[in-house]
Structures are given as structure tokens and as C-alpha cells.
Chains A and B, each alone.
Chain A
Amino acid sequence: MTASDVPNTRSRTAGEKKFDGFFVGLTTAFAIGTGLLLLAISFIILMAAIPAIREFGLQFVIASTWNPVQDAYGALPMIYGTLVSAFIALLIAVPLGLGVAIFLSENFIPLKIRTVLVFMIELLAAIPSVVYGLWGIFVLIPAMKWFFGLFGLQFIGPSMLTAALILSIMILPIIIAISRDSLASLPPDLRQASLGIGATRWGTIFRVLIPAAVSGIVGGIMLALGRAMGETMAATMVIGNSNQISLSLLEPGNTIASLLANQFAEAKGLQVSALMYAAFVLVIMTLVVNILAQVIVSNVKAKYD
């Protein structure tokens, strides 16, 4: 028996054991740290907002003046703008997105072409929002001016509607991706049973597939809503940043995110804290929407796995 045949049966040294434990501990710490990051973000923003919370209390969310000169701050116009622009964006994007998701989950066209289409829609999501904003300023706004000019309407350019249009383009990919996933993950038996008893393709889609996938679709819409409420650059570049509520969609407005983008770099004193308060309101709004969306989406996954 030569030396090389003898298996190395030495036990691990104390140092190796220690390092092994240390390594596992380190990964655990990083994982838990990531989990806590969200709490840390909310907490730090809340801490920075305390002076403004003391000063304005809940009045902040119903007052509608934003006046850095007199240090009077109310975020109602921005909250209104955030919600309205996001909802109009959904109104445009949901029917479109559902149509595309159905088209891509059915076998209308060969799989290869569908894969290319899916890739193109992913690209739509990958284009930086500042590029959409630039495009909005120099292409979409002139186009809308021309369009409204046809009806003799005055259109200044930056407006709630412009922002909502751009937002709808940006949230389409999320709605499409998640609706398509939830349609595609349905058991094939559902479709076969429906077709087998004589339903047409679209009869099957409307009466069987969509009802079965509805919670996933709703989850996707919620995620899109969260994205639309928090989207900053594209909105701030085309919404006009007017801190007043105007009911017309063709008038400028503002969102919380674009308020932050505009004022943070030059803010002083109480204004910083008021902006932090506004940011905290935005965090709460998006957290509620996102947590609901995650719960819905993960329940759907559990159902058909």
C-alpha cells in the first residue's frame, strides 16, 4: 500500500470549523440585512420627517399650499396628482396589456415570433425613464399639441394627460408579463375541457381562462400601480410641476415623486423635512400597493405549483 492510496482521513481543524460557521453566519446576516433594509429605509425617512410631522401633523395630507417662502407645506395636490396620473395610466394600460397578454399566451402565431415579441416588450421595460422623459418633451408633447390643435383646443404641453400617457407606456410591460405568466401557468385541462364541450376560443378565454387567472392579473395590475405612483423622471419632465389641483387633465399637475426630484437638491431647513414627510407618504402608498400585490401573486403561484 503506497502513501497515495491512503485516504486522507484527518478531521477538520478547529480553524476550518470556525471559518465554516463564520461563513454561514455571514450569509445569514446579509440575508436578514436585506430583509431589514426596507424597514431601515422607512425608519430613516420617518426620522428625518419628524420636524415636519410635529409642525403640520395630518393636516399635511389635506392642505394644498406648498410655499417654501412662508414654510407652509401641504401635499394634497401632489397626492392627488400621484393617484390621478397612476389611475389614468392604468386605464390606458390595463386593456392594452391584457389584450397583448392573451395574444401572447394563445397559439395565434408560431412560438418563435412570440419569443421575439416578448423580448421586444421586455426592452420597453428596460429603456431608462429619463429617455422616455426626453422623448415626451420633444416628440409626444408636440404630437399632442398638433392633435388637440385639430379640434381647436388650446394645449400648453406639459400636463397630467401627457404624464399619464408616458406612465402607461412604462407600466405596460409589467402588466403584460405577469398576466401572461398567470394565463400560461393555468392547467391545460381547463382549456381542453372548455373547448371539448364546444366553446369557441374567445368563449374559453373570457369564461374560463381569465376568471381562473384573475388573481394573478390583479396582482400584476397592483404592481403596475405601484410602479406608476413612484415613477419619477418621465413624470417630472412632462407633468409641468404645478403645485395646484386642476381638474382638467390638460392642465399641469405634480406628483410626490416629481416634487422630490425638483426640490430636494436646493431645499433648506423645514423644507427638507417637509419633503421627507412627502417621501414617507409615498413610501406608505407604494408599500401598501406592493405588499398587497406580492401577497396576491405569491398565492397564485402556490395554487398551481
Chain B
Amino acid sequence: MTSFRGTSPESPSLAGLRKNSSRPRDVFNIIMTGLSVLCVVITLIPLVLVLAFVTIQGAGSITPALFTELPPPPGLEGGGIANAIIGTLIVVAIATLISVPFGVMAAVYLSEFSKDGQVARWVRFFTNVLSGVPSIISGVFVYALLVRTGLTGYSAVAGGVALAVLMLPTIIRTTDEALNIIPQEIRWASIGVGASRYQTVLQIVLPAAIPSILTGVTLAIARAAGETAPLIFTALFSSFWPNGILQPIATLSVLVYNFAIVPFEPQQELAWAGSLILVLLVLLTSIIARVVTRQKTY
């Protein structure tokens, strides 16, 4: 009768059910809740630190010259990273041109035409496993396939193909999901008025899924733009303006890598500026993707 105080209408036997911060099981609960909050805080610290340092170190170098000039020779001041920005655009464009048609068509098969589901199950499985393959392996693959054989040599095309391999699983998965959300009635209606399978897919189903597909493609592009490992020995690097898609080409991510490991301060500043651009790109696309996916056609 001493465990709780007077005015409560509860019967004494219910007292044991109330929270009591001195009982072991309640103390344990409080400690565990505290620990899980601590986990969240510790996890967010690196995010905050990375974003803060990239912003502080990179913002100082954001000048008009950054977007219009070539990188300076080792050790010299000034210059920009314009060739790397253009290079990244070119390489990512090549990767997109390859991976989007390929990925969207494969996803159309998975969600529209695979009848027994057995083939689709295997393709989905391998696509998932493919997305876990290290990005550098895609670079090694393209090196063996295109660079060493002399088909393209070190070039923007080789880099684009390597990135396309990495983008493919993301594009297939997001397109597959986007198509699966489209209500079945729409397909029946289309076939009911006499449309053939390709008309149903190209004129009815795909247009309805376009917002979600675009979101997936945008995210894949943002990730690809930040990838470095597959480009180091496929697109290589160049200190000059892009000179055709069959020549080595500078990219932002490789520039950050190359300039981070040299002992010259002006280069390191450019590396921070490059990082800031990459991070802003990822940040913006993630936020835009989030906003766009809220608007659904059906």
C-alpha cells in the first residue's frame, strides 16, 4: 500500500502495472531508449560534419572562374574546373543514353510481358545482385572489354558504359515499381478498345508512369555523377577541354580524387569546390525526387 500515493482511484493491486522509474525493468527501458537516441545522434554527426566542411571549404572557391577556366598547373593559383564539369555532363549523358532505354525496356518486360514469372524472378534476382557488385568492378569490366581491346581506348564512351552498368539496376527497379503501381484496369481498357500490346505499353502505361520513372532516372544520374572508381581507368583524366568522346576526359569526381592527393593547396581548394558541386547535385536531386513522387497520376 505504500507504493503509490492516496488519491488515485486505482485498486492497490494495479499499482504494479504503473511505470515506476526505480524498478529495474523501467530503469532498463529508460536506459535503452536513451541509448537508441544516442545512436541516432552519433549517426547524424558524420552527415552534419561532412556537409559543414564541404560547404565551408568549398564555398570560398565558388567564383565565376571556377565555371569558365581550366585547372591551373600543379602548384599555381587560380583557374577553375570547367572542363571537369563539362566532362561529367558528357560522360553521364552517354551513360543515360545507354542505360535508360535498356533499363526501361527490361522493366517493361518484367512488369508487362513475363507470363510465368520464372524468367522475371531470375532477372530480378540477378539485377539485385548486380546492384551489389562493387562499382570498381564495372570499371574493370569496361577496361577489359573496351579499353584494353582498343575498341574505344581511354575515353568518355568507356566511362559512360561503365556508369551505365551501375545505373541499370536502379533504373530497372524504379521503372518496374512504377509500372506495377499503374492500375490493371487501365491496361484492360486499352486492350478492350482494340489496342495492341506495344500501343498499350507505349501510349497508355508508360506515359502514366513517367513521373516515377523520371524520379528513378534522376536519382540514378545523381549517383552516377558522383561515382569515381569506375572512371579512373576508363575515362581517365585530362587537364584540357573535352576533345571528342573517344578521347580521355576530365570528370568532377576524378578531379576531386586527383586533386585531393596532391600536396598543393590551390588544387586541394579546387577539390573541395568540386565536392561541393557534387554534394549540391545529390542534395537537390534527392529533394526534387521526393517532391515529384508525391504527385501521382492515378
Chain A positions near chain B (C-beta within 8 angstroms): 12, 16-17, 19-20, 23-24, 26-28, 30-38, 40-41, 44-45, 47-48, 95-100, 102-104, 108, 117, 119-124, 126-135, 137-139, 169, 172, 176, 198, 200-203, 205, 223, 226-227, 229-233, 237, 257, 260-261, 264-265, 272, 275-276, 279, 282-283, 286-287, 289-291, 293-294, 298
- Give every chain B residue within 8 A of A41 (Cβ-Cβ): 133, 137-138, 141, 165
Count of A-B residue pairs with CB < 8 Å? 265
- Give every chain B residue within 8 A of A176 (Cβ-Cβ): 43
- A260 & B196 in contact (Cβ 8 Å cutoff): no
- B136 & A135 in contact (Cβ 8 Å cutoff): no
Main DSSP-derived SS at the A contact region: helix
B-side interface residues, number (CB < 8 Å) = 90
- Give every chain A residue within 8 A of B172 (Cβ-Cβ): 34
A128-B225, A130-B278, A231-B134 given; 11 more Cβ-contact pairs under 8 Å: A19-B198, A24-B109, A34-B172, A108-B36, A124-B47, A135-B49, A202-B29, A203-B29, A223-B132, A232-B134, A232-B228
Q: Which of A31, A128, A138, A260 contacts B226 (CB 8 A)?
A: A128
Contacts A34-B126, A103-B39, A237-B260 known; A120 to B47 CB distance under 8 Å? yes
Contacts A37-B165, A135-B54 known; A233 to B257 CB distance under 8 Å? yes
Main DSSP-derived SS at the B contact region: helix
Contacts A35-B122, A286-B132 known; A119 to B140 CB distance under 8 Å? no
Nearest CB in chain B to that of A206: its residue: B32
- A126 & B46 in contact (Cβ 8 Å cutoff): no
- Give every chain A residue within 8 A of B229 (Cβ-Cβ): 129, 232-233, 257, 261
- Asked if B125 is at the interface of the complex by the 8 Å CB criterion, the answer is yes
Q: Cα distance A100–B46 when bound, in Å? A: 14
Q: Cα distance A293–B222 when bound, in Å? A: 26
- Asked if B247 is at the interface of the complex by the 8 Å CB criterion, the answer is no
- B54 & A230 in contact (Cβ 8 Å cutoff): no
Q: How far is the CB of B167 from chain A (nearest CB, A)?
A: 12
- Give every chain B residue within 8 A of A17 (Cβ-Cβ): 196
